[in-house]
């Protein structure tokens, strides 16, 4: 301190006192604001929030910092954290890098915010090894009562971009919808779609072709709706022509060749079922069928290809959520016997019988023809929906729902199907995934392009709003404890009311802007050539209920 400063110290103190008094007088709201409480109900008993304390946590080497809040009640002396990188999995040895972070106070809470560049340097040093995170006091001494967190660092990166839809609440119908892109290596977000720009039109079913953001589709509902295809640097909007009232282009799945998109079409029947806690939409499908759109020839192909077989199949089954095998030679989808109400059962009991299983058809890319469908996996206790396939083609992850295939219903837990294994009945067995399970349900899952990561939505944080979680899927076909999508502030999820839906991982950033999307969304759509389809389409099939 200089002599001048020393001389003016009493004056400085007086000035500080005056400033404090002025702040007290002029900013009463700041003083009356209560100190933020620890979010006990959602912190799940952990001393940090979000809870990154799972012992089996595996992080991708390129993930953004896992910033968090620290509970002073549970760790009273805590003042800083130390992150140490270890190149190997072994516990012994000296760290190859370390990072000390002083906790910052914000709104009465302590926050740990890692500098992004230093965090990445540490993780790079720990790739294939692990990091240890310890809590320390003001003097830099480890806190005896605090846990030491151990995070494995996988050298396999996660695709750096995530697209998800945001809705205001977890209740239908939501008025305002947005789709955002988030860079997973930092905290940058970008608005891609906003239905306030298109007259409140609902949009959904965004999908990219095998994690390729340059090849995307988005379905727009309502008047002036259609399906937007982004491909080869530009948008194209397609729609079904008049005369096919029961058809919809929903739940898209891009063929690996990027020439075909499989859709399932169904009219959904909504049965709002209310209990004392919440209203659940129990949703059944009707008039469902698979549609395959040939992008190059702007036409729809029937599936199965044999007209008689297709008619028989469509008369017996509802189908939903197609997904292509990575080699493009097979398509998996959900299939259920058509719902027939039995008078002696209540309507909920009837709906509870409406359960999907997983079926498949072989596909000849050269001729664009399908085989007859066959069953792949059945679960007697639940309805299998939302299949997602890993890039090796060996595993399918499905959501086990109470009934039907529609993802908006409550519940749903993830299960794994190993397609390389067959039981005595010729069907693939279904395995629980305890590492990912929670009482609040998981769904909307998707693999990264290298197959080592899966993102999914879960309401486990507060039971009401869904957030995105990331889990490592190792080479032994085992999922590790998931972690919530990290945010720039640890308190983000304590007050997050919007729900994250349908996370999709991309290798690159989405090439279009919000303005470009808006222009494409309001542009007129090109009708699809239906000549191949019209032959076996039942004109008598009238729409019923709400639809996509």
Partner 1 sequence: MNRGGLIERFLGDNRLRLCLVMGLALTLTACLSPEEKCLNTMREAVYADDFAKGLATADAFYRKHAVETEHPSERAMALRWEISAYTRLCLLMTGELNRRFLAYYPVHEMGVLFPAPLPFVNRHCYAYARLYCEMGLYGPALPIVLWHAEDLGWDEAGLNLLFEIYTNTNQSRVAQTYLQAFQQDAKTRRWSAPWVATVTALAENAASAPDGTRTQPLSPAFLTGPQADESFIDGYAKAVFRYETALSDTATPNPYLTDYYTLLCLLEKDLAQVPRLLDVYRRQGRPIPDYLQEATLIYASDAGNAAGLEAAGLTREALQLSPDMEQRVGKVFRDFEMLKIGGLPFDEMTRRHAATYTYHFLFGQIQ
Choose the binding region for partner 1 from 82-90, 137-145, 226-234, 343-351 (rule: CB under 8 A): 343-351
Using CA atoms, how far apart are residues 8 and 342, in angstroms rounded to an integer?
A: 90
Choose the binding region for partner 1 from 274-282, 301-309, 356-364, 481-489 (rule: CB under 8 A): 274-282
Choose the binding region for partner 1 from 89-97, 127-135, 163-171, 426-434 (rule: CB under 8 A): 163-171
List the interface residues with partner 1, window 276-305 (CB under 8 A): 276-280, 282
Residue 41 CB, nearest distance to partner 1 (Å)? 4
From the list 284, 303, 351, 397, which residue makes contact with partner 1 (rule: CB under 8 A)? 351
Contact 67, 118 (CB under 8 A): no
Task: Outline where 2-154 has alpha helix (H).
Answer: 3-7, 9-26, 28-32, 40-43, 116-125
Residue 541 CB, nearest distance to partner 1 (Å)? 23
Choose the binding region for partner 1 from 35-43, 95-103, 356-364, 429-437 (rule: CB under 8 A): 35-43
* Length of the chain, in residues: 548
List the interface residues with partner 1, window 50-79 (CB under 8 A): none
**What tokens does 530 get?**
């239906």
Q: What mask of x and - would describe binding to partner 1 in positions 176 to 215, judged by CB under 8 A?
A: x---------------------------------------
**What tokens does 298 get?**
């702007």
Contact 488, 470 (CB under 8 A): no
Using CA atoms, how far apart are residues 428 and 432, in angstroms rounded to an integer?
A: 13
SS3 283: strand
DSSP 340-356: ---TTS-HHHHHHT---
C-alpha angle with apex 197: 193 to 203, nearest 5 degrees? 50
Tell me what percent of the chain is helix, strand and coil, each rounded to the nearest 5.
15, 40, 45
Using CA atoms, how far apart are residues 73 and 71, in angstroms rounded to an integer?
A: 5
The continuous run of DSSP H or E covering 357 comes out as strand 357-364
Q: Does 457 bind partner 1 (CB under 8 A)?
A: no
From the list 1, 25, 41, 315, which residue makes contact with partner 1 (rule: CB under 8 A)? 41
From the list 84, 156, 194, 491, which residue makes contact with partner 1 (rule: CB under 8 A)? 491
Q: What mask of x and - would describe binding to partner 1 in positions 376 to 415, judged by CB under 8 A?
A: --------------------------xx------xx----
Number of residues that bind partner 1 (CB under 8 A): 53
Question: For 122, which DSSP code?
Answer: H
Q: Does 275 bind partner 1 (CB under 8 A)?
A: yes
Task: Outline where 178-277 has alpha helix (H).
Answer: none
Q: Does 362 bind partner 1 (CB under 8 A)?
A: no
Contact 166, 499 (CB under 8 A): yes
From the list 175, 196, 421, 422, which residue makes contact with partner 1 (rule: CB under 8 A)? 175
Choose the binding region for partner 1 from 66-74, 133-141, 167-175, 243-251 (rule: CB under 8 A): 167-175
Q: Does 545 bind partner 1 (CB under 8 A)?
A: no
Using CA atoms, how far apart are residues 238 and 544, in angstroms rounded to an integer?
A: 23
| 506-523: b (≥16 Cβ within 10 Å) or e | bbebbebeeeebbebbee
List the interface residues with partner 1, window 430-449 (CB under 8 A): 439-441
Choose the binding region for partner 1 from 81-89, 131-139, 166-174, 288-296 (rule: CB under 8 A): 166-174
Q: Which residues pair with 163 in a beta bridge?
A: 181, 504
Using CA atoms, how far apart are residues 501 and 87, in angstroms rounded to an integer?
A: 36
Q: Does 174 bind partner 1 (CB under 8 A)?
A: yes
Residue 61 CB, nearest distance to partner 1 (Å)? 31
List the interface residues with partner 1, window 91-110 (CB under 8 A): 107
Interface ranges with partner 1 (CB under 8 A): 29, 33-34, 36-37, 39-42, 107, 168-169, 171-176, 271-280, 282, 346-349, 351-352, 402-403, 410-411, 439-441, 459, 461-465, 491, 494-497
């Amino acid at each position: 301190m200089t002599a001048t400063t020393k001389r003016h110290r009493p004056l400085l103190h007086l000035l500080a006192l005056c400033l404090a008094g002025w702040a007290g007088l002029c900013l009463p709201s700041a003083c009356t604001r209560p100190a933020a409480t620890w979010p006990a109900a959602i912190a799940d008993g952990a001393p940090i929030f979000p809870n990154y304390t799972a012992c089996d946590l595996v992080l991708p080497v390129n993930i953004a910092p896992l910033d968090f809040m620290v509970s002073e009640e549970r760790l009273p002396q805590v003042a800083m954290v130390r992150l140490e990188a270890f190149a190997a999995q072994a516990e012994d040895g000296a760290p190859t890098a370390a990072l000390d972070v002083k906790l910052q106070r914000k709104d009465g809470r302590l926050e740990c915010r890692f500098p992004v560049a230093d965090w990445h340097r540490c993780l790079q040093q720990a790739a294939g090894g692990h990091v240890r995170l310890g809590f320390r006091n003001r003097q830099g001494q480890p806190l005896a009562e605090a846990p030491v967190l151990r995070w494995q660092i996988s050298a396999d990166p996660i695709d750096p971009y995530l697209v998800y839809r945001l809705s205001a609440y977890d209740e239908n119908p939501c008025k305002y919808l947005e789709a955002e892109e988030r860079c997973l290596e930092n905290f940058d977000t970008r608005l891609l779609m906003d239905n306030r720009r298109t007259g409140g039109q609902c949009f959904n079913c965004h999908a990219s072709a095998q994690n390729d953001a340059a090849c995307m589709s988005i379905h727009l509902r309502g008047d002036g709706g259609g399906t937007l295809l982004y491909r080869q640097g530009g948008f194209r909007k397609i729609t079904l022509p008049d005369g096919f009232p029961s058809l919809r282009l929903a739940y898209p799945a891009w063929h690996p060749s990027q020439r075909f998109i499989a859709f399932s079409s169904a009219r959904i029947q909504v049965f709002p079922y209310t209990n004392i806690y919440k209203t659940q939409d129990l949703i059944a499908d009707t008039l469902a069928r698979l549609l395959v759109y040939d992008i190059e020839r702007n036409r729809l192909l029937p599936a199965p290809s044999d007209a008689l077989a297709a008619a028989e199949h469509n008369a017996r089954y509802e189908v939903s959520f197609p997904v292509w095998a990575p080699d493009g030679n097979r398509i998996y989808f959900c299939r259920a016997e058509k719902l027939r109400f039995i008078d002696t059962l209540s309507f909920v009991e009837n709906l509870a019988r409406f359960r999907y299983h997983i079926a498949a058809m072989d596909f000849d890319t050269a001729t664009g023809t399908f085989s007859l469908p066959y069953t792949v996996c059945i679960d007697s206790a639940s309805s299998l929906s939302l299949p997602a396939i890993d890039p090796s083609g060996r595993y399918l992850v499905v959501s086990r729902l109470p009934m039907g295939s529609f993802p908006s219903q409550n519940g749903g837990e993830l299960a794994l199907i190993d397609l390389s294994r067959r039981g005595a009945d010729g069907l693939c067995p279904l395995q629980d995934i305890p590492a990912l399970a929670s009482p609040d349900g998981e769904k909307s899952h998707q693999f990264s392009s290298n197959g080592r990561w899966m993102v999914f939505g879960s309401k486990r944080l507060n039971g009401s709003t869904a957030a995105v979680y990331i889990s490592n899927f190792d080479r032994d076909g085992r999922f590790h404890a998931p972690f919530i999508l990290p945010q720039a502030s640890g308190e983000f999820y304590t007050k997050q009311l919007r729900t994250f839906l349908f996370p999709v991982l991309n290798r690159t950033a989405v090439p279009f802007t919000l303005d470009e999307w808006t222009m494409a969304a309001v542009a007129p759509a090109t009708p699809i050539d239906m000549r191949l389809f019209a032959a076996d389409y039942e004109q008598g099939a009238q729409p019923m209920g709400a639809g996509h």
